[in-house]
Amino acid sequence: MRRYVIKRLAQAVGVLWAAYTVSFLVLDYLPGDPVTAMAGAGMDSGQVDPKQIAALRHEYGFDKPVVVQYAEYLGRAARGDFGDAVSTGRPVTSTLADALPQTLQLTGAALLLAVVLGGGLAVLATYTAQRWLRQLLLSLPPLGVSVPTFWVGLLLVETFSFRLHWFPAFGNDGPKGLVLPALTLAVPTGAQVAQVLAKSLLTALDQAYVETARAKGADRWRVHLRHALRNASLPALTVVGLLVGQLIAGSVVVETVFSRDGLGRVTAAAVTAQDIPLVQGVVVFGALIFVTTNLVIDLVYPLLDPRVVVASDRRAALA
């Protein structure tokens, strides 16, 4: 077990390092001259004179060979320092840290909604004996993954804020302001949860132990929840890592739609301002969230189901 944990940790660090490298290649290396972009986008950009560009170039280390730049940046990034955001002059790390709580609230609420609604839908759809109801319920998840999130958000604003005045249309004010954005963000995620869970529930219901339980005369609902759902939710757990990454990224659109403060809006602003250090920080942060979630799931999984140590090793490589 200890070896497994250490190996997974090493793997996670490796992925993070590589994610940083990819973002470095894309952002710092790909554009011909990030400095000109910065000088244009920065606050102190009144006169874009050659001297200023040279100074910026020096400050950001662009006058050095790429390999040296990379090594320096990586060294700093390993200590959690991604430099200063060009558009605000504030450190990237603290900019992200300040924005994070709002986004965690949003994504947390959305994940909860997604699991409850999506899971509920899957359970109900597989439980019901009514063919039409099952059909109807099972047709919802494909719909959920097909609608653009920003559109759903705008429709909700239009209906529940402007017409009915039930919830605020924008901003971070209190739990009421969280309802519409979280619901919006939960739609595609919930649909995916429903799809995965329904599939594994159906598989589980075919299993021998379910038959056995039924034969023993157990209540149908009880069989469904106690036996089938329990076994079906373990595989569903493995997609949570993927979903959390999606939720964090989805906050870019949802926070823009609802003019909410948070990581997503910081990201959108950073892209618009071509704020390279900030965008890089966001990309690596996204990878960090994904890797951490998967790590936690992989470490918790064997505790829930001791049989799968070996299997989860394989799955870890897949994730």
Which residues, 248 to 307, sit near another protein by CB under 8 A?
A: 248-250, 252-253, 256, 259, 261, 265, 267-276, 279-280, 282-283, 286-287, 290-291
- CA–CA gap between residue 176 and residue 161 (Å, rounded): 11
**Residue 247 C-beta: closest distance to another protein, Å:** 9
For 208-247, b/e burial (b = at least 16 CB within 10 A) is eebeebeeeeeeeeebbeebbbebbbebbebbbbbbbbbb
Which amino acid does the sequence have at 115? V
Binding map of another protein across residues 98-137, x = CB under 8 A, - = no contact: x---------------------------------------
Q: How far apart are CA 53 and CA 50, in angstroms?
A: 5
What does the per-residue mask of binding to another protein show for 165-194, with x meaning CB under 8 A?
x--xxxx-----------------------
CB of 16 to another protein, least distance (A): 8
Contact call for residues 298 and 12 (beta carbons, < 8 A): no
46-65 binders of another protein (CB under 8 A): 46-48
Closest C-alpha among 107, 101, 94, 145 to residue 248:
107
> What number of chain residues touch another protein (CB under 8 A)?
80
Which phi and psi (to 5°) does residue 84 adopt?
A: -100, 140
Instruction: Provide the 10 A C-beta neighbour count for residue 191.
Output: 22
Q: For another protein, which stretch binds (CB under 8 A), given 35-43, 105-113, 119-127, 215-223?
A: 35-43
Residue 155 interacts with another protein (CB under 8 A)? yes
CB-nearer residue toward another protein: 62 or 150 = 150
The distance of closest approach from Cβ of residue 158 to another protein in the complex, given in angstroms and rounded to an integer, is 6
In whole angstroms, what separates CA 313 from the centre of its chain?
A: 23
**By CB under 8 A, residue 26 contacts another protein:** yes
